[in-house]
Amino acid sequence: MTLPVTFVEVVAVRRITPRTARVTFEAEALADTVGTAPDQQLKLCFPRPGQREPVLPAPQDDPMGWYQAYLAIPEAERPLLRSFTLRRREPGTRRIEIDFVLHGDTGPAAGWALRAAPGDRLGMVGPSALYAPPVPLAEAAADADWVLLAGDETALPAIATLLEALPEGGRAYVWIEVADRAERQELESRADLEVEWLYRDGAAPGTVLTEAFRDAVLPGGEPFVWLAGETGAVRAIRRCLIEEQGVPKSDIDFTGYWRHRLTQDDAPTAEDLADAQERLAAGPDSTSGNAAR
């Protein structure tokens, strides 16, 4: 199975909250079966300064060959990569929607999104079933008494697609940390859904969500927890769930999407590497994308 590599062109840009832009792209090539599952990772390729569009790696037969082709591009021309979650694909078309968290003109993704306009072009690697979660949330929900999805605004696209895929009759709780009340979004699910919005109101990223878990009284029964967002917060919340709440490690799907004061271009820390090793030991790569940086 090859990993799709294609250009995408902006069709529309819409602010869905003051700090979130939803960008609709038209892909030059996109298989009919791609992008229909929830929590689908992809990578966007951003042009270097002075480029009108990025230089893309040549498609490869080897699923991971694209990355070697990417590294073969001269560094001065090599596009900047950022991971995202596909928010939606319009049925019967090659149009996709991706949400960008606007946190200032401090990174290639957010800076690009602030100025994005119809006709702008990026590159896209994926999405692909190669990076689908090893245990779909709907399957996990069927085996659990309840599910809990938690994260910050970068996790909202994945959370929204997962909620939409949950079956009727299940119980789902959602805890989301956002900057303030204006960042709330409408979430839909066939499951019995309870959503708790947590507002930073100037606090450091991840602190409000972490404190909510430390103070929480979770429902009884067997849970399944999906957790994503700022890496340090994800790590602290997972530790709390295991050590203080007694949730088995196998019942927690966790991903650090971004690191406070660091970018994807910075080297991983020892804790980052330990987290990655634990995820690899648990099964195939299920790292999702996000909506930022």
pLDDT at 287: 41
Alpha-carbon distance 37 to 136, whole Å? Answer: 9
Length of the chain: 293
**Taking a C-beta distance cutoff of 8 angstroms, is the pair 223, 144 a contact?**
yes
Q: Does 5-131 match 137-279 in CATH topology?
A: no
Of residues 219 and 137, more confidently modeled: 219
- The correct CATH number of 137-279 out of 3.40.50.300, 3.40.50.80, 1.25.40.10, 3.40.50.720 is 3.40.50.80
Tell me what pLDDT residue 1 has.
61
Q: With a cut of 90, say whether residue 136 has pLDDT above it.
A: no
CA nearest 288: which of 232, 223, 229? 229
What ranges do the domains of the chain cover? 5-131, 137-279
If you average pLDDT over residues 181-205, what whole number do you get? 96
In tens, the pLDDT along 220-259 reads 999 999 999 999 999 999 999 999 999 999 999 999 999 8
Q: What are the residues whose beta carbons fall under 8 Å from the beta carbon of 182, sequence distance 6 or more? A: 17, 18, 19
pLDDT tens for each residue of 47-62: 999 999 999 998 777 8
Name the pTM for this structure.
0.88
Inter-residue contact 5 to 124 (CB < 8 Å): yes
pLDDT over 70, % of the chain? 87
Instruction: Please identify, in words, the CATH class of the domain defined by 5-131.
Output: mainly beta
How far apart (Å, rounded) are the C-alpha atoms in residues 222 and 206?
A: 25
Phi, psi of 270 (to 5 degrees): -60, -35
